[in-house]
Structure 1
Amino acid sequence: MDERPLGTTGASVTEIGLGTWELGSDWGDVDEGKAREAIHAALDSGIDFLDTADVYGDGRSERLIREVLAERDEDPFVATKAGRRLDPHTAEGYNEANLRGFIHDSRERLDVDSLDLVQLHCPPTDVYYQPAVFDALADFRDEGLIDHYGVSVERVEEALKAIEYPGVETVQIIFNPFRQRPRERFFEAAAARNVGVIVRVPLASGLLTGTLSADTEFPENDHRNFNREGEAFDVGETFAGIPFERGLEAVDELESIVPEGQSMAQFALRWILDHDAVTTVIPGSSSPEHIRDNVAAAALPRLSADRHATVREIYDEHVREHVHQRW
């Protein structure tokens, strides 16, 4: 797999990484043996960027990464997140003491002296207007507790505000054929500041795999069941914010332009990677087969201009009204 520079961090990472939300929580039951197999499969496939968070399974995902890496020689770049442990999850909670505690716990679970990258975990919008939060992150870096810091955002406007702080080296954001606004409003600014762009929810919670249907049933503890209206967290994290049935209609149209020999998931990932501002894409999966399929997307040729134009047309017809101005 080719690698791309991760902003100003000095690291280069594979174009496809592994997101480990699914291995921690909110995607139905995934036993720990299967979760470890998934991480092994990612590393076996050449992935050298792993993304996690302290709340994924109450630290389970971080711990599993530590356990797998202890069995191997690789030293991948591991990005984690902090902030969502706050209860209530308020802007006031994003203070030096709380963040220091979260970072301490993640260092212990990952068994490292310094975390490669800490990202604020989709904090309330007001946090981006509090310089003291970013001053604290800079202090943690200077103390050797973290190597780099960035943000994971819900909205484009939050991303634009975050990169006004010179220490923010990465932004994690939702971007896929069903969430196209970042390329209009954010990518140019990120490139101008040499900010690494980490794309999450690239397959729209499975919609863009082409394997879901109106008859698909999700487990009770799967966010695709319990968060369709944003009952638990931002609805944009579930099916990228598009109503499930409307998303299925859009996928039906997209499937007609997928090149022969490619899966729907590979097509979506290739579409994302065709945007040069993107550093890495982090699809999550507990299936080694799916992980290998995702990695193979990086070797595919760029999509034609006609296919990109058709993706825009399908977005405009089926998706734009539901998501474009909201995120």
Structure 2
Amino acid sequence: MEQRLLGKTGRNVSVIGLGTWQLGADWGTVDAAEAQAILAASAEAGVTFFDTADVYGDGRSEQAIGAFLAANPDLDITVATKMGRRVEQRPENYTLENFRAWTDRSRRNLGVDQLDLVQLHCPPTAVYSNAEVYDALDTLVAEGAIRHYGVSVERVDEAMEALRHEGTATVQIILNAFRLKPLDELLPAAQAAGVGIITRVPLASGLLSGKYTPETTFAPDDHRNYNRSGSAFDVGETFSGVDFEEGLKAVAEFEQLVPDGVSTAQAALAWVAAQDGVSTVIPGARSVEQARANAEAASVGGIDATFDVGVHEIYDRYFRAAIHPRW
């Protein structure tokens, strides 16, 4: 699989990575054996980048990855985790003391002495412009607890602020066919600054898989059920913030763009990967088959200029007015 430089980390990672939120919780249940099988299938398909967080299943996602790494010590896998959402979301909680506690816990969960990459996990907006926060992160690097740090953001303006700080190695942001704003300013700015872009929610929480209908239901513990109004966390994390029914209409048009022999999901992933400045795309997978199909998106063809124009036209008709100003 194609490998790309992950910003200031200096590491090369697979253009299709693996997001592992679903291995912890919030997408229905994935048992421990299936989680290991998904990680193994991804690695076998050439995936060398796993993204997780300390709050995914209260550490279960990190622990699953840790068990996999321990069982496969010869694999060259870069693991990015996140921190900051184990406490009330107030800027004053983003301190060196808390950072040390959170990274120590993640190191135990992952079974490593040093974390490859730690990202602030969509903190309050004021955190991104607080110099003391970056000083604390620099201290963790100097102490050897982490190799590099980055930020995970909800909004483009938060990402742009993070780019101003020299130590920021990566930015993680939602980018998909229904969320185009990062293309305007952020991706060119990140390229100029040498900062890697990790793109999450590339399938708009599964909408862009083309598998959903108006009758589709989700489990009570699936965020696509309980967070549609944004009552648990930013609504932009669920279906990229688009209305489910409107999203289905847009997907029907998106499917008309998809080349023969390519699945809707693979086309959506390949389009994100084709954007200048994207380092890696991190779809989730709840089965071995899905993990393999996602990885295959790295080599699909037919995602050309005509396809790109179609994506922009669909976005302009259905989503620009609601999505562009908000995120």
Tell me, yes or no, whether TM beats 0.5.
yes
Say if 2:122 and 2:154, in contact at 8 Å, map to a contact too.
yes
Provide the C-alpha distance between the structure 1 equivalents of 2:179 and 2:22, rounded to a whole number of angstroms.
Answer: 20
1:165 aligned onto 2:165: yes
What is the match of residue 75 of structure 1? 76
Does 2:194 match 1:191?
no
Is 1:222 equivalent to 2:219 in the alignment?
A: no
Point out 4+ residue stretches in structure 1 off by more than 6 angstroms: none
- Aligned partner letter, 2:21: W
What are the superposed Cα offsets for residues 254-273 of structure 1, whole Å, 9 maximum, x if unpaired?
10110000000011011111
Structure 1 window deviating more from structure 2 (315-324 vs 137-146): it is: 315-324
Amino acid at match of 1:213: T
For 1:159 and 1:34, locate their aligned partners in 2 and report how far apart those are by CA, in whole Å. 34
* Deviation, structure 1 residue 105: 0.5
Q: SS of the counterpart of 1:279?
A: strand
Whole-Å separation in 1 of the counterparts to 2:104 and 2:304: 47
Residue in 2 that maps onto 1:313: 313
Verify: 1:299 aligned to 2:299, yes or no: yes
In structure 2, C-alpha distance between the alignment counterparts of 1:2 and 1:235, rounded to whole Å: 32
Paired residue for 1:63?
Answer: 63
Partner of residue 254, structure 1: 254
Alignment gaps of 5+ in structure 2: none
TM-score (norm 2): 0.98
- Distance across 2 between alignment mates of 1:301 and 1:261: 10
The TM-score with structure 1 as length reference comes to 0.98
For residues 166-211 of structure 1, the C-alpha deviation after alignment (integer angstroms, 9 at most, x for no partner) is: 0001000000000000000201100000100000000000000000
Establish whether residue 212 from structure 1 lines up as the match of residue 218 from structure 2.
Answer: no
Q: Which amino acid aligns with 2:224?
A: R
Matches of 2:321 and 2:30 in 1, distance apart? Answer: 35
Q: What is the CA-CA distance between 1:21 and the residue it aligns to?
A: 0.2
CA distance in 1, matches of 2:37, 2:306: 39
Measure how far apart 1:129 and its partner are: 1.7
- Give the superposition deviation at 1:122: 0.3
Contact 2:171 2:196 in 1 (8 A): yes
**Deviation of the 1:41 alpha carbon:** 0.9
Per-residue deviation at 1:302?
5.5
SS of 2:325's partner is coil
Offset at 1:64?
0.5
Alpha-carbon distance in 1 for matches of 2:8, 2:222: 36
- SS of the equivalent of 1:202 reads coil
Question: Which residue does 2:174 correspond to in 1?
Answer: 174
Report how many residues are paired: 326
8 Å Cα contact 1:270-1:302 kept in structure 2: no
* Offset at residue 301 of structure 1 (A): 2.8
The RMSD of aligned alpha carbons is 0.8
Report how far residue 237 of structure 1 moved. 0.1
Question: What is the percentage of aligned positions where both structures have the same residue?
Answer: 53
Q: Counterpart in 2 of 1:54?
A: 54
- The residue identity in structure 2 corresponding to 1:49 is F
Amino acid at match of 1:156: V
